[in-house]
Structure 1
Amino acid sequence: MRKFIVLGILLLILLVGCSTETTLTNEEEVANLVNNYLEALETKDITSMVKYSDDIRFPDKVEQKEQYSNIDEDITDTKIVELKKVSETEFEATVEMVNNGELAKFTFPVEKQKTGWKTIVGRDS
């Protein structure tokens, strides 16, 4: 009987430990989003580029995909160099990348929208 009680308690502890979800902080969510967007840029994964961004130049996602398919840049070595919280719903991500052999630095706003966090593209800074 004692064996079953100990086994029951261990099982309960295991179930409770497995059911607690680890939630990411906003900063972690934004960093993951920006890293996913940068990876999509490097691999020219147009579907993911559209998924992780809100390109204000193209309100129509179909047109955005068409325009992105014409991108002829060679983007490599992307990385976040700074992630700054502006407010509860906005961050600024400063990134470096090699674009056609030239080191470039960009700052992207990242905003929380109804569908989640999005990298804002196409805004003049």
Structure 2
Amino acid sequence: MTIKYEWRGDFDNAALDALHADGFGPPVAETDWRERLERYSLGWVCADEDGALVGFVNVAWDGGVHAFLLDTVVAQRLQMRGIGTALVATAAREARAAKCQWLHVDFEAHLRSFYFDACGFRETTAGLIAL
């Protein structure tokens, strides 16, 4: 298995929709990812296996020193092989290169060991309002 990781990598909307549905569950949305990412993101990382999109993470930001991980997803058939960790490491490296000082993430409880143990995040106090 050879996976290529690319900052601001090329993808098509249908492939990213399908990856999201595979990783997060149906339905397959029809999202204009390219427009959304170009408008709101510092960048993103694509993981590619033989021309197929198998992993993705979005790095949103505040235009200053704070970056935020969103939509970290790996194809189910390839999970638990370090792809997600490599996506996050690439995102962190590129956010650091863009002079960001903080990389934030929120996640569901079952992903705690992935983000804290595999990716090196540390626990902080944060707040959230469901809108």
Superposition TM-score, scaled by structure 2 size:
0.30
More helix by share: 1
What is the TM-score of this pair, normalised by structure 1? 0.30
Work out which of the two has the higher radius of gyration on C-alpha atoms and give 1 or 2. Answer: 1
